[in-house]
Amino acid sequence: MGIINEKIDQAVQILREKNIDMWLTFARETSTTPDPALDLLLGTHVTWPSAFIITRSGKKTAIVGTLDMQNIRDHAPYEVIGYRDAIQPDLLKVLEETDPKQIAINTSKNDVTADGLTHGMYEMLLDMLKESPFAARLQSSQSVVAALRGRKSAAELACIRAAVEETLKIFNAVSGMVKTGMTEYDVAEFIRMQMSEKGLEAAWDPESCPAVFTGPDSAGAHAMPTGREIEPGHIMNIDFGVRVRGYVSDLQRTWYFLKEGNTEAPDCVRRGFNVIRDAIRRAADVLKPGVEGREVDAAARQYIVDAGYEEYPHALGHQVGRKAHDGSTLLCPEWQRYGDLPFSRVEAGQVFTLEPRLTVPGYGVATIEEIVVVREDGVEFLSDPQENIWLVT
């Protein structure tokens, strides 16, 4: 229960800070349709319609089906109320006793981690509240969820650090075995073997974790490894992470395969890699509490464009935690697809990736993905930064 207890107590403090009386997470059959908030507030699943209520006064109540009661007690410090026929009477009783003026529920246009309430459950909730004053007091929990997921505790950071360390060890193992003639799939299978030997899980969908890309015109980000062979003169990059005690890493590294007789990469390859490395440094210099996500993205994006390359077609970085893409504050440009996220302000305790990329024509994609935690005065790198492109003979 350690981290769950820690996050529930943190949620109480956030409600006080945000001047919100109550946070209500309403869910059912979460093994099929999970609400992301329950990763932090419960750590297990429920079957019947269930309400998890946290108030700014510190009261924590779970209203669940009678068959779920003991499981909830075993996982989190709620006062558990069990029902058999209907949740509505107990839910209304708790609301009437508390009389919250603001009730945060998990709906959000911008943050998927705060949008766990399904449409059907929302309609059910409105039906239960329609004869009460509480239906008019519902609001989005986005600000609560963003703060709770973003502000990593010491225990959460320890898990992320451990995941980063394991990932870097596997990258080092790749450097010792990879060679031309191997396929993307061969490299991915080696990484999966390493994970299996260490008892580790992939940070996201195992079909594309790891993602391995070699040479020009590769499949691109988020695709699974293919039978494409590594050739001399190829840039290869790997996007990969593991899960440790419920928390994940998400890192990328880049290799270059030397042509016969060469001892270093061509100037254009080294320059492309170095531009990416330096863009990350510039972004890290800007990344401080209070800045907007778009400002951090702009520092890296403009540097790459000024160096003569096309801008990368995605955000500079996302938060990392229980998921590889975790939390609402995003380091991204002012594009329509990102909604209000470019204007979100960075907070201390948030963990971000920094992952710009560029294409080196004829060779492949140069990219690095580092992980940093935001401190009061700047950032701390949780990953050992890749300073030079890794050469393979």
Q: 3-state class of 255 per DSSP?
A: strand
Is the dihedral angle over the CA atoms 129, 131, 137, 140 positive or is it negative?
positive
Please indicate, yes or no, whether residues 137 and 226 belong to a single structural domain of this protein: no
The one-digit pLDDT tens for each residue of the chain (393 residues) are 689 999 999 999 999 999 999 999 999 999 999 999 999 999 999 999 999 999 999 999 999 999 999 999 999 999 999 999 999 999 999 999 999 999 999 999 988 999 999 999 999 999 999 999 999 999 999 999 999 999 999 999 999 999 999 999 999 999 999 999 999 999 999 999 999 999 999 999 999 999 999 999 876 666 789 999 999 999 999 999 999 999 999 999 999 999 999 999 999 999 999 999 999 999 999 999 999 999 999 999 999 999 999 999 999 999 999 999 998 899 999 999 998 899 999 999 999 999 999 999 999 999 999 999 999 999 999 999 999 999 999
Please indicate, yes or no, whether residues 157 and 145 belong to a single structural domain of this protein: no
In angstroms, the CA 299 to CA 317 distance is 12
Please indicate, yes or no, whether residues 252 and 380 belong to a single structural domain of this protein: yes
Please indicate, yes or no, whether residues 67 and 131 belong to a single structural domain of this protein: yes
Beta-carbon contacts of 15 under 8 Å, excluding residues fewer than 6 positions away, are 21, 22, 23, 54, 55, 56, 104, 144
pLDDT score at 270: 98
**Residue at which a domain ends, from 134, 149, 164:** 149
**Residue at which a domain ends, from 98, 123, 149:** 149
Count: domains in the chain? 2
In angstroms, the CA 107 to CA 118 distance is 8
The CATH number of the domain holding residue 369 is 3.90.230.10
Domain extent, residue 175, equals 151-392
Q: Which residue has the tokens 């993205």?
A: 297
Please indicate, yes or no, whether residues 167 and 22 belong to a single structural domain of this protein: no
Q: How far is CA 10 from the centre of its chain?
A: 19
Please indicate, yes or no, whether residues 324 and 247 belong to a single structural domain of this protein: yes
Q: Which two tokens stand for residue 16?
A: 């006080």
Please indicate, yes or no, whether residues 200 and 334 belong to a single structural domain of this protein: yes
The CATH number of the domain holding residue 140 is 3.40.350.10
Please indicate, yes or no, whether residues 142 and 185 belong to a single structural domain of this protein: no
Please indicate, yes or no, whether residues 94 and 167 belong to a single structural domain of this protein: no
CA dihedral defined by 176, 179, 185, 189, rounded to 10 degrees? -30
Q: 3-state class of 137 per DSSP?
A: helix
Q: Spell out a b/e string for 303-331, using b for 16 or more CB atoms within 10 Å of the CB, else e.
A: bbeeeebeebebbbbbbbbbbbbbbbbbb
**Residue at which a domain ends, from 97, 131, 149:** 149
Please indicate, yes or no, whether residues 373 and 387 belong to a single structural domain of this protein: yes
Please indicate, yes or no, whether residues 88 and 34 belong to a single structural domain of this protein: yes
Q: Which residue has the tokens 């705060």?
A: 114
Q: Is residue 300 within 8 Å of residue 279, measured between CB atoms?
A: yes
Output the pTM of the full model. Answer: 0.92
Beta-carbon contacts of 58 under 8 Å, excluding residues fewer than 6 positions away, are 12
pLDDT score at 1: 66
Q: What is the DSSP string of 13-72?
A: HHHHHHT-SEEEEEES-TTTS--TTHHHHTSS---S-EEEEEETTS-EEEEEEGGGHHHH
Please indicate, yes or no, whether residues 50 and 93 belong to a single structural domain of this protein: yes
